[in-house]
Amino acid sequence: MSTPPILEVTDLKKHFPLRGGLLGGTTGYVYAVDGVSFSIAKGETLALVGESGCGKSTVGKAVLRLFDITDGQVVLDGKRIDDLSSSALRPMRRRVQVVFQDPFSSLNPRMRVRDILAEPIRNFGLAKDAKDLEERVAKLMDTVRLPRDAVNRWPHEFSGGQRQRIGIARALAADPDLIVCDEAVSALDVSVKAQIVNLLQDLQRELGLALLFISHDLAIVEHMTHRVAVMYLGKIVEVAPKRSLFAAPKHPYTEALLSAVPVPMPGMARERIILKGDVPSPIRPPSGCRFHTRCPYAFDRCRSEEPKLTHVATALDEGHVAACHLHDRPAAENPLAVAKGAALVAA
Amino acid sequence: MPPLLEVENLQTHFRTPDGVNRAVDGVSFHVNAGETLAVVGESGCGKSVTAMSILRLIPEPPGKIAGSIRFQGRDLLTLSDREMRDIRGNEISMIFQEPMTSLNPVLTVGRQIGETLRLHQGLSAKQAEAKAVEMLTLVGIPEPARRVREYPHQLSGGMRQRVMIAIALACNPKLLIADEPTTALDVTIQAQILELMRDLKRTVGAAIVLITHDLGVVAEVAERVIVMYAGKKVEEAAVSPLFRNPKHPYTQGLLGSMPKLGSSLHGDEGRLAEIPGLVPSLKQKIPGCVFASRCPHTTDLCRQVAPALEEKEPGHVAACHYAVKEGAIAA
């Protein structure tokens, strides 16, 4: 474990100003991401899970540097990228690519597949000459299991799953070290989703890619990632190797999330925790632990003091951290001390 | 007792510039009073068009609905528009997928719930508002007396879906058609809405036709299931046998291609089963089995002769030449 991580994010914050008022001044902030730290090793898949509005896509965009961050650090392969000028950033951009959710709006309808794939290759000057360019495009089509002669066609001639393959090929064209997959399989039908999940897993193994896999689908996350980070309202509340997380969640939010996923096994008896209410507004996040307003186990300390991510001992793997005051209590008063993941997900 | 709804040989076709699209092609099923029937399938299999056809919400032309849809003994396809209006929202109502776009943004929630009550039950504005507050309480919205005067944009996605359910249930319908009612919602909110639907079914007693692509949702709320593929019903069974012992290769493929929660704990982390290829175009007539082009067990027979729906086990129907009674595929 001595190799440095490909990506290291430290105390990342992104606050979006709210404009309004008489003179159009700033009237407040949306605390979309409010102090998030994590790292991804080379060739590793880290999943970022959470519900709409928890800030998971904002983290993805910050890693891609699609905007300037409010505070914190993003370090790519030992080099800090969040404060680079746009010209200094250019060579680093090649190394982090993205696959978007919607394969219908993320491909330019006026470009042929060949041009979509050639653009990043030209942009980063990766091809020696026209013949090399053509060869690289053809290879990309092989990599994503599309026929080579399809390069002359337009995006609208493809199905959703095929378009997502083109989107993946475009991300691979720049020969990246890390790909941010922002809900990359969420918009696809079940049978096509399986094809794309298998493809991503194959590519990761073949090319040694690291993936930041942003998703709300816990079953897919469990299937294809190594480690999982759970976000709630702009904060990471738990990070763990997946087996440890699914066997014994150590944050009440993770526990509720797991129990809420419908499981395709009729009549299965399982423990179900139904959270009350909605996610609070990130404009005025709750005091103390942000989850205390919906947490079934909240006590006084949760309302005033914010819990920090700390190491939690588990039976399974090392490296399980969670931000919850329950773990400071004696085991008898900690409902998360026992491993009940199996009761939550499947008997 | 005859079933509440009986759909027979439903065919909903659309005329398009490049040929007739057979969105629904000869589908038959029934719904008993008070039961929950799930209609499952992927995009384009015809499940939503089936739902819209029952309520006759398909614009004709370019659409054309044929077959028969008997609801409480009356064939809905023979009713006048006026008679049909008396049924929609009153005896049969519908919940749509998008709670954001299916509510009117310029009317208060109370007006929208009250609208159906005033139209169908002739309540006064005041009575309708009182009933709207009652409905909001029923679907678990806090502070209903205040919320009833709010506009949709003031509510969260989960609350809007609760309002949609309140509208649908306002007139005590006998049949509720829910088209992907939780697809646009987050899992914790989805769990709330599914719980609400289960509770309401007990208290209100309406039959539900649940249209969804999510087999997890099906397993949680349905009693009986129809699997659709390319405009046809390919399998039908009670929910447990369907999941334990699916007969049609398409259903088997669908179940196999879904990762299961808890897979890392059981060590079954191999590759997901893929269904290769794509759904066929509905504009060409398919001579044989609609699934033949993607099925791992296809033979010449499948390509030439369309399999009929056969009862493989009591109450378990599938359209496959090879799905034998024991459930194994002989190929």
Sign of CA dihedral B54, B60, B64, B68: positive
Whether A257 and chain B come into contact, CB under 8 Å, resolves to: yes
A positions 176-195 inside 8 Å of B (CB)? 189-195
pLDDT of B327 strictly over 50: no
Closest Cβ opposite residue B187 in set A223, A260, A264? A260
Using CA atoms, how far residue B266 sits from A222, A346, B283, in Å, is 12, 10, 44
- Asked if B254 lies within 8 A of A190 by C-beta distance, the reply is yes
Crossing angle (nearest 10°) for helices A160-173 and A113-123: 20
| Top-level class of domain A233-347 | alpha beta
CA distance A94 to A120: 8
The nearest CA of chain A is from the CA of B240 a distance in Å of 6
Residue A78: how many CB atoms within 10 A of its CB? 9
Every domain of chain A and the residues it spans:
233-347
User: Tens digits of per-residue pLDDT, A167-211?
Assistant: 999 999 999 999 999 988 888 888 888 889 999 999 998 999 999
- Find all residues with CB under 8 Å of A17, minimum gap 6, and list them: A26, A28, A29
User: Tens digits of per-residue pLDDT, A19-64?
Assistant: 877 777 788 888 999 999 999 999 999 999 998 888 999 999 999 9
Residue A249: how many CB atoms within 10 A of its CB? 28
Please report residues of B whose CB lies closer than 8 A to that of A224. Answer: 259
Whether A201 and chain B come into contact, CB under 8 Å, resolves to: yes
User: Tens digits of per-residue pLDDT, A222-264?
Assistant: 998 999 999 999 999 999 999 899 988 999 999 999 988 888 8
pLDDT of B86 strictly over 80: yes
Whether A220 and chain B come into contact, CB under 8 Å, resolves to: yes
Q: What is the ipTM, given to two decimal places?
A: 0.80
Closest Cβ opposite residue B216 in set A194, A258, A263? A263
**Helix, strand, coil: what percent of chain B each, to 5?**
35, 25, 40
Closest Cβ opposite residue B195 in set A216, A267, A274? A274
Segment (H or E) for A52: none
The nearest CA of chain A is from the CA of B77 a distance in Å of 32
Tell me which residue of A82, A41, A43 sits closest to A64, measured CA to CA: A82
CB contact at 8 A, A265 and A301: no
- The arithmetic mean of pLDDT across residues B102-106, rounded, is 89
Question: In whole numbers, what is the pLDDT of chain B averaged over residues?
Answer: 87
Tell me which residue of A156, A323, A311 sits closest to A235, measured CA to CA: A323
- The arithmetic mean of pLDDT across residues B203-222, rounded, is 89
Question: In whole numbers, what is the pLDDT of chain A averaged over residues?
Answer: 89
Concatenated DSSP letters for B89-144?
TTTEEEE-S-TTTSS-TTS-HHHHHHHHHHHHH---HHHHHHHHHHHHHHTT-SSH
Whether B219 and chain A come into contact, CB under 8 Å, resolves to: yes
User: Tens digits of per-residue pLDDT, A100-131?
Assistant: 988 888 999 999 999 999 999 999 999 889 99
Across A119-128, A275-284, B246-255, least confident range? A275-284
Across A54-58, A310-314, A341-345, least confident range? A341-345
